[in-house]
Amino acid sequence: MARKTGQTVAIYPGSFDPITNGHLDLIERGARLFDRLIVAILRNEGKEPLFTAEERVEMLRHVLRDFANVEVDAFEGLLVDYAARKGASVIVRGIRAVSDYEYELQMALMNRRLAPEIETVFLMAGEAYSFISSRLVKEVASLGGDVSGLVPPLVEARLRERVGTPLPKGRSS
Ligand code: PNS
């Protein structure tokens, strides 16, 4: 078996539209495991994201500003090509529940076929985050529900601006 030399660079890719506290939990775990962790936002304008790639980069950079070994970037094209350009040997993905597994396994095996030298590592989000998804957060926020505690405060504010709903009852700021 080849011996590991140098630093291990890992990529944590995703849409992050927007980042949730579940993503944040994963990033904290990944930052402890790897020398460098690159949080890579897919430029998926075709999917009509709520926030542009630039807005997502800006939010993530703010939220992750205290992590010394974490950087934020945006990419397009194949993830494995991007990972190779960055010198990354690991792709990190989060698994919340068994329902995530099938899709994640398909992606991991496709990526392995494309680039066998890159390993996908699955991390389990903390159980407190197992029900949080960007899609549900956007839906709840757009219907005026309270998303505090599910996303970082900056994201909560940006969601409020973007979907234009008033604060939930009983909250003044
Ligand atoms: O947060 P998401 O939307 O579940 O992330 C999906 C993502 C960005 C990891 C995936 O769509 C991706 O890697 N896209 C880049 C294009 C690519 O490489 N496709 C083949 C992967 S099997």
pLDDT string in tens for the chain (173-residue length): 556 678 999 999 999 999 999 999 999 999 999 999 999 999 987 889 999 999 999 999 999 999 999 999 999 999 999 999 999 999 999 999 988 999 999 999 999 999 999 999 999 989 999 999 999 999 999 999 999 999 999 999 999 999 965 555 555 44
Pocket test for ligand 1, best of 42, 133, 135 (most atoms within 8 A of CB): 42
Q: Please indicate, yes or no, if residue 140 is contained in any of the structural domains.
A: yes
Q: CA dist 144 to 12, 15, 75, 134, 147, Å?
A: 30, 23, 32, 15, 9
- Joined together, the tokens standing for residue 60 give 């993530």
Name the residue type at position 111. N
Range 54-80 burial, b when 16+ CB lie within 10 A, else e: ebbbebbeebbeebeebbbebbeeebb
Beta bridge partners of 40: 13, 73
- Which atom of ligand 1 is nearest the CA belonging to 103? 4
Q: Please indicate, yes or no, if residue 173 is contained in any of the structural domains.
A: no
Q: Give the residue numbers spanning the domain of 132.
A: 9-163
Instruction: Say how many Å lie between the CA of residue 14 and the centre of ligand 1.
Output: 6
Which pTM was predicted?
0.93
Q: Please indicate, yes or no, if residue 31 is contained in any of the structural domains.
A: yes
Q: Kindly list the catalytic residues.
A: 23, 47, 96, 134
Q: How far is CA 43 from the centre of its chain?
A: 13
Q: Please indicate, yes or no, if residue 4 is contained in any of the structural domains.
A: no
CATH number at residue 95: 3.40.50.620
Q: Please indicate, yes or no, if residue 128 is contained in any of the structural domains.
A: yes
Q: Please indicate, yes or no, if residue 2 is contained in any of the structural domains.
A: no
Pocket test for ligand 1, best of 12, 15, 106, 136 (most atoms within 8 A of CB): 15
Residues ≥6 apart with Cβ < 8 Å to 121: 10, 33, 90, 91, 92, 93
Total count of domains within the chain = 1
